[in-house]
């Protein structure tokens, strides 16, 4: 038997996947961005389970909870360090893709009616990740979901 939080996780992943499209592959390890299947990874996304808390509110005899997730979006850096124009294009592309996720979350604030509300709280800015053979630029989008169970 799955609980609400499992349904929320699945709905969040589905919305992110649809927003980013087929160019993006699911990361095998979103908790360590440099530890993924590099030879095939150009663009990836993953859902990281972050902290949660009991809101200590009771609604119709049920408890309200908050769970935070980080949506990781990662793009391979396919240029040299000195090609400023190409790096700018990669930066802007990642910003545009994070905006697609934001817009998708705003369009379905209840994550297909799995939670009371899901809101993008912030993002962590760009992060640099380096694997054995490739370099990546990533952004972590912080999403907070309130649900009643």
Q: Measured between alpha carbons, how far is 52 from 66 in angstroms, rounded to an integer?
A: 5
- Give how far the C-alpha of residue 20 lies from the chain's centroid of Cα atoms, to the nearest Å: 10
Grade residue 39 by pLDDT with cuts at 50, 70 and 90. Answer: low
Tokens of residue 65, six digits: 């909870």
Q: What is the pLDDT of residues 106-138, one digit of tens each?
A: 999 999 999 999 999 999 999 998 877 788 899
Please give the model's pTM, rounded to 2 decimal places: 0.90
Q: Which residue has the tokens 């150009």?
A: 42
Give me the CATH number covering residue 72.
Answer: 3.30.70.1700
For the segment 94-102, the average pLDDT, to the nearest whole number, is 97
Q: Measured between alpha carbons, how far is 147 from 54 in angstroms, rounded to an integer?
A: 10
Total of domains in the chain:
1
- Can you give the residue range of the structural domain that contains 79? 4-148
Grade residue 3 by pLDDT with cuts at 50, 70 and 90. Answer: confident
């Amino acid at each position: 038997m799955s609980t609400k939080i499992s349904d929320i996780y699945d709905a969040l992943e589905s919305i992110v996947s649809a927003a980013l499209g087929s160019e993006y592959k699911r990361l095998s390890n979103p908790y360590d961005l440099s530890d993924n299947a590099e030879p095939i990874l150009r663009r990836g996304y993953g859902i990281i389970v972050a902290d949660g808390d009991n809101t200590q509110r009771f609604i119709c005899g049920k408890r309200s909870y908050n769970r935070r997730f980080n949506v990781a979006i990662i793009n391979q850096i396919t240029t040299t360090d000195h090609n400023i124009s190409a790096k700018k294009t990669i930066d802007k592309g990642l910003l545009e893709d994070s905006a697609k996720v934001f817009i998708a979350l705003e369009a379905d604030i209840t994550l297909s009616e799995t939670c009371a509300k899901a809101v993008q709280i912030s993002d962590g800015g760009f992060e640099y990740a380096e694997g054995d053979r490739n370099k990546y630029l990533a952004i972590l989008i912080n999403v907070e979901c309130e649900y009643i169970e």
